[in-house]
Amino acid sequence: MAEKRKIGILGASGYTGAELVRLLLRHPRIEIALLTADRKAGQRMGDVFPQFAPYELPTLVAIDGIEWVGAGLDLVFCALPHATTQKVLKELLAQAPATKVVDLSADFRLTDAAAYARWYGHEHHAPELQREAVYGLVEVYRRDIKKARLVANPGCYTTCAQLPLVPLIKARAIELEGIVIDAKSGMTGAGRAAREEMLFSEVSEGFHAYGVGQHRHMAELDQEFSKAAGKDVLVSFTPHLVPMNRGILSTIYVRGRRGRSAAELHAILAEHYAREPFVHVLPFGKVPHTRHVRGSNMTFIGVAADRAEGRAIICAALDNLTKGASGQAVQNMNLMLGFAETLGIDMPALFP
Q: How many residues bind a copy of itself (CB under 8 A)?
A: 90
From the list 99-107, 138-146, 287-295, 329-337, the region that binds a copy of itself by CB under 8 A is 287-295
Spatial distance between the Cα atoms of 38 and 1, rounded to a whole number of angstroms: 35
In the window 150-209, what residues touch a copy of itself (CB under 8 A)?
A: 178, 180, 182, 184, 186-188, 190, 192-196, 198-209
C-alpha atoms less than 13 angstroms from C-alpha of 151 in its C-beta half-sphere = 32
Least Cβ distance, residue 203 to a copy of itself (angstroms): 5
247 binds a copy of itself (CB under 8 A): yes
**What kind and span of H or E run contains 10?**
strand 5-10
The span from the CA of 315 to the CA of 131, in Å, is 33
Is residue 251 a contact residue for a copy of itself (CB under 8 A)? yes
| 3-state secondary structure at position 116 | helix
The answer to whether residue 263 forms part of the interface with a copy of itself (CB under 8 A) is no
Of 36, 27, 29, nearest in space to 9 by CA: 36
Closest CB to a copy of itself among residues 70, 206 = 206
Strand order across the beta sheet in which 100-103 lies: 30-36, 5-10, 75-78, 100-103, 150-152, 134-135
CA distances to 101, 102, 171, 274 from 325, in Å: 14, 11, 27, 23
156 carries an active-site annotation: yes
Taking the least distance from each CB to a copy of itself, the nearer of 150 and 165 is 165
Taking CB under 8 A as the criterion, the residue among 62, 69, 94, 308 binding a copy of itself is 308
Beta carbon nearer to a copy of itself, 71 or 209? 209
Q: Which is nearer to a copy of itself, 67 or 205 (CB)?
A: 205
**Of residues 219-238, which lie at the interface with a copy of itself (CB under 8 A)?**
234-236, 238
Write out the binding residues for a copy of itself, residues 3-62 only, by CB under 8 A. 15, 18, 21-22, 25-26, 49-55
Q: Does 290 bind a copy of itself (CB under 8 A)?
A: yes
Which residues 198-217 are close enough to bind a copy of itself by CB under 8 A? 198-210, 212-214
How far apart CA 247 and CA 15 sit, in angstroms, is 13
C-alpha span between 320 and 297 (Å, rounded):
9
* Minimum distance from residue 50 beta carbon to a copy of itself (Å): 4
Closest distance to a copy of itself from the beta carbon of 99 (Å)? 26
Rounded Cα distance between 21 and 10, Å, is: 11
Q: For residue 244, how far is the Cα from the chain centroid?
A: 18
Nearer to a copy of itself, 15 or 68 (CB): 15
